Structure 1
Amino acid sequence: MPETSATINNPVIPGFYPDPSVCRAGEDYYLACSSFEYFPGVPIFHSRDLVHWTQIGNALDRPSQLRLPPDTTSSGGLYAPTLRYHDGRFWLIVTNVSGDGNVLFTATDPAGPWSDPIRLPAVHGIDPDLAWDDEGNCWCTVAGVSQIRIDPRTGETFGESRHLWSGAPGAKAPEAPHLYHIGDYWYLLIAEGGTERCHGVSIARGRTPGGPFEPCPANPILTHRGTDHPIQNTGHGDLVQGPDGSWWMVFLGVRPHGGTPGWHVMGRETFLAPVTWVDDWPVVGEVSPAMAPPPWPLEKPAAVPVRDDFDLSELAPGWISPRSRPAQNHTTKERPGWLSLRARGESLDDPEVTFVGRRQQHLSCRTRVLVDPAEGRGGVAVRLDEEHHYEIEATPGQVQVLARIGPLRSVVASHPTAPGAVVLRIEVAATRQFTDARQGPDTVSLGVEDAQGTFVELAALDGRYLSTEVAGGFTGRVIGAYAAAGTVHFDWFDYEPLDD
């Protein structure tokens, strides 16, 4: 049932869900995000109110759609999709920087199935956008910023690519272009300044899809650079109009925590802000962790899935794996009611590790997993990439806490366990009081539960080393189960948000 609320929580999609692109079909909104080196790729969300979002699938969920070779680097893979609804179909265009370049997919139902890829070999550049003019021509605009006309059904291009507008003179990384026909103008929205603290959104307008474009005198229309705002790196926006005629922007941002320089650990997240129009220019309203909701009733939020008992034949859409997920290595069918993982790589350092995880979505959270290591070696991990991860690993009769930080790999602690299955536990506690400018953003505690369910902490590690500011790249933390030798079985996986 619809509900009313004085405020809404930002981010509207917490966790590693960057580069949001949104469209509306009737009274329904759909949103896509970047997924980088993870498979399946490009998560798809649905909402009726722009505030409460539910993941309904992944657009690229078959190997025929998404090729991520073993040498795909972390933060490689899929960059910056654009999702549009046109002529009764959904269209998705994205760049695979580790394989096929720019590729396009279509669907009649955004939950899937999506088509096999339509390749665009003559479209060069990342962050592709799609827009149709009144004559039915489809224009593809890419970072840089340049544009070319395409046939989205075949991938054929027409004419030469032409430069449009690259934002403020000397600004770094003009990217994430989106083109809209609103009223009397064509608007070209871009991100600039790089996706770090100087990130921002700027806009220009012209009378035709190809310009010439006049920059907005108030650019950037969104940025938090040079401020102490709790939401930083704001940029990479997309506009959408509500059924009541109001306008909104989804965009990425981060929530840095800890001392100086501040560390964000969950990657870039999806935020929402209202937009008004003044003199035919968009004005982005206040961005805050708690903000006024849209002027329509909010849907009742869906319950956050806390526990997966692996009773279904297929994994839920929120589960992801690095680069690929071969059925013979990841299955819920071998032992009914259990997730069975068969090892490929020998550790989380290996790009081909057998790992199934979900994004960390809360500053503080608790993860509990029941693992049976009788046939192998494995456990539960907090992963940022191959060189930055913490894990607690079980073998028959023993568990170990392991840490990989850059070139250093260490066994932090060991502990004997009783024979049989064991409950492994990871708790992430955000730093609440800052007594030192160097204080990290959170503490990651790893341990086991004893027979009475009491947490036996084996190690408490500084969370800054699993942050973008330390590791680099574009992704965020993923917490999941893995196998490093033999076959490891997991009965359930429980992720519990704690007070943020």
Structure 2
Amino acid sequence: MNLPNPLIPGFNPDPSIVRVGEDYYLATSTFEYLPGLPVYHSRDLVTWTHISNVAVRDEQLGVVNAPTNLGVWAPTIRFHDGLFHLIVTDTAGRGTCIFTATDPAGEWSDGVVVDLEGIDPDLAWDEDGTAYITYSGLVLSGPDIGAHRGIEQIVVDVATGEVLEPKRSLWSGDGGMFPEAPHLYHVGEHWYLMVAEGGTERGHSISIARSHSPHGPFTSCPDNPLVTARGTARPVQCTGHGDLVEGPDGQWYVVMLGTRPRGMVRSFSALGRETFISPARWTRDEWLEIDPVELNPRDGFGWSEDFDGPLGPEWMGVRRRPDQVADLTSRPGWLTLTGEGEGMGAFRPVFVGHRQEHQTCEIRAVVDASHGVGGLAVRYDEEFHYEVEAGAGRVTARAVIPGFVRESSVEVGDGQVTLVISSAVPAAKGLGHPSSDMVSLGLIGADGSVRVLEEVDARYLSNEVAASFTGRVFGVYASTGTVSVDRIDYRGDNS
């Protein structure tokens, strides 16, 4: 199969996948964004549709006050006994939660809480129906916060969250830091425990061990790590945090996170951690092999949102859902936002956003800020964001990084205006440009052409500089008064 890579582009880290008959379902992390936990569907591993989000109600998660980089970490999606299960760590919120659904495209339960201290939980069942949660033993509170106990396991009642047996220690990997992202599989005569090691940065990798029992003892594969890009010139770096699935062609595959760094020394990953896929196979010795991740980006494409109907599941907000701030009825055919006195630097901005999916792109928004201040923005978090803002007859381009603000303004008069943000590869300097891309902030002028107010280095909106686990998210916002948006147009490619 000629699979695209990234499989699901943009901010889609920590993928977990399950096959049910001829259908595939994949979930990823969302951290401080809501709705939480997107669920994607495919029948061929090529074409994916965002069919739902697990967390669409306040009572399901505690993300509303989650600090940046906390919130919803590393889901595992599984199917057992006619029911879909998704288990996830809700850091700074409810803790470890198990959600269920009869149809992953429909409504998910409010979830039950499991009392464990750790992250990246996996869920597996043995033949007699015993449910095992295997997780990474990271200490999240108390005097030992940050300490790591390796991979641990408990037995639970998935219906109630009750822990039925004391935790046991399983494996600590093969020496890499932060053994995490465990997944437990029963294939043939063995139980396999696949983990990530080396941290989610450039040392990231996948290793595996096996046992004749789901609770060990586990023996390391002699060929670990099975996948890593560290110390290589591969265009896809940070590969790890994998989940195993059998494809429609009988071939096994591993989905995993990775990044696409750019720049002269490939130092900046503009889109953050994305979902990739690579073929795998079982050897004669009944060990797993995984191919290195190959870059195979999809062709460029574009789309438009005219706000004539409800927002799709791909739209999201920061620590609150789009439906909690978006008014689609008071001005039909427009999205209206009401500001709360703060802009994109707010902990909980009035913002409706979408993942940036291409490394080169242009976003346009038709905005009427006659009765307020707001506009079009691209953000990594509340400290790193660029925007084009309209209000009081003026358009202002602004770039914000910690301790520094750069802006330019132009008078345009009242009425609607088309704001533009674009990202492009900078011209090479000698051996290459040091940055990932340059972002232009501007508007459509009276002659119909783009008028650039600021062109700014975009390395600051990257995984490595912002030190965020998310990725670039663009969207529209309001700071004060009411701001209405008639249309958003997006086009992008991977040049």
* TM superposition score category, shorter chain reference: over 0.9
Matched residue, 2:295? 289
Q: Is residue 420 of structure 1 aligned with residue 425 of structure 2?
A: no
Give the corresponding residue for 2:17.
Answer: 22
Number of residues of Structure 1 aligned to a counterpart in Structure 2: 481
Asked if structure 1 preserves the Cα contact closer than 8 Å seen for 2:227 and 2:292, the reply is no
Q: d(CA) in 2 for partners of 1:334 and 1:201?
A: 51
1:311 is matched with 308
**1:39 aligned onto 2:39:** no
RMSD: 1.7
2:192 equivalent to 1:187: yes
3-state SS of paired residue (1:64)? helix
- Letter of the aligned partner of 2:85 in structure 1? W
Distance 1:311 1:303 in 2: 25
TM-score (norm 2): 0.94
Which of 364, 378, 382 is the matching residue for 2:378? 382
Whole-angstrom distance in 1 between the partners of 2:366 and 2:273: 30
Equivalent of 1:198 in 178, 198, 203: 203
Matches within 5 A, 1:75-474: 75-120=69-114, 122-143=115-136, 144-169=150-175, 171-260=176-265, 262-278=267-283, 279-290=285-296, 306-312=303-309, 314-325=310-321, 327=323, 329-410=325-406, 412-431=407-426, 433-435=428-430, 439-474=434-469
- Indicate conservation of the 8 Å contact 1:366/1:496, yes or no: yes
- Structure-1 separation of matches of 2:117 and 2:427: 46
| Aligned counterparts of 1:154 and 1:127: Cα–Cα separation in 2 | 19
CA shift, 1:104, in A, is: 0.7
Q: Secondary structure at the match of 1:211?
A: coil
Does the CA contact (< 8 Å) of 2:122 and 2:183 recur in 1? yes
Shift of 1:486: 1.1
Q: Which amino acid aligns with 2:19?
A: R
Distance change in 2, residues 1:224/1:491 (3 Å): same
Q: Deviations over 1:140-177 (max 9, x none)?
A: 011130000001111011121000001013x2000000
Identity of aligned residues (%): 49
SS in structure 1 of the partner of residue 272 of structure 2 = coil
Q: Provide the C-alpha distance between the structure 1 equivalents of 2:367 and 2:489, rounded to a whole number of angstroms.
A: 12
Deviation at 1:361, TM superposition (A): 0.7
**1:351-376 Cα shifts (integer Å, max 9, x gaps):** 02101111111010000000000111
**8 Å Cα contact 2:236/2:261 also seen in 1:** yes
**Distance in structure 2 (CA, Å) of the matches to 1:328 and 1:200:** 39
Whole-Å separation in 1 of the counterparts to 2:63 and 2:418 = 33
Paired with 2:104 and 2:119, the residues of 1 have a C-alpha distance of 23
Query: Does the 8 Å CA contact 2:380/2:468 hold for their aligned counterparts?
Result: no
CA–CA separation in structure 2 for the residues paired with 1:156 and 1:303: 48
Do the aligned partners of residues 89 and 390 (structure 1) sit closer, same or farther apart at CA in structure 2, a change above 3 Å counting?
same
Residue 441 of structure 2 aligns with an amino acid whose one-letter code is L
Kindly provide the CA deviation profile for residues 371-423 of structure 1, in whole angstroms up to 9, marking residues without a partner as x.
0001110000110011101101000311001111112223x210111320000
CA distance in 2 between partners of 1:214 and 1:100 (Å): 34
Unmatched tracts of structure 2, length 5 or more: 137-149
Q: How has the CA–CA distance of structure 1 residues 203 and 119 changed in structure 2, closer, same or farther, with 3 Å as cutoff?
A: same
Q: 1:17 to 1:480 in 2, by over 3 A?
A: same
- CA–CA distance in structure 2, aligned partners of residues 93 and 328 of structure 1: 25
1:290 is matched by which residue type in structure 2? N
Q: Deviations over 1:293-327 (max 9, x none)?
A: xxxxxxxx999661100111x31111111001374
Please give the alpha-carbon distance, in whole angstroms, between the structure 2 residues aligned to 1:239 and 1:499: 27
Q: 1:46 to 1:186 in 2, by over 3 A?
A: same
CA gap 1:305/1:129 in 2 versus in 1, 3 angstroms: farther
Preserved CA contact (<8 Å) 1:382 1:478: yes
User: 2:369, 2:414 within 8 Å by CA — same for their partners in 1?
Assistant: no
Residue 496 of structure 1 is aligned with which of 484, 491, 495?
491
- Provide the residue aligned with 2:144 in structure 1: none
Distance 1:8 1:469, change over 3 A: same
What letter is aligned with 1:49? D
Q: Secondary structure at the match of 2:168?
A: strand
For 2:21, the aligned partner's letter is G
> SS state of the match for residue 120, structure 2?
coil
Aligned-partner Cα distance in 1 for 2:53–2:299: 18
CA distance in 2, matches of 1:109, 1:477: 30
Divergent runs of 4+, >4 A: 301-305
What letter corresponds to residue 177 of structure 1 in structure 2?
Answer: P
Secondary structure of the corresponding residue to residue 155 of structure 1? coil
Give the Cα separation in 2 of the matches to 1:417 and 1:190: 55
AA at the equivalent of 1:172: M
TM-score with structure 1 length normalisation? 0.93
Counterpart Cα distance in 2 of 1:69 and 1:455: 37
Question: Quick one: distance in 1 between partners of 2:62 and 2:433?
Answer: 41
- TM-fit CA distance, 1:453: 2.2
Is the CA contact 1:329–1:343 (under 8 Å) kept in the aligned structure 2?
Answer: no
**Preserved contact between residue 345 and residue 354 of structure 1 (Cα < 8 Å):** no
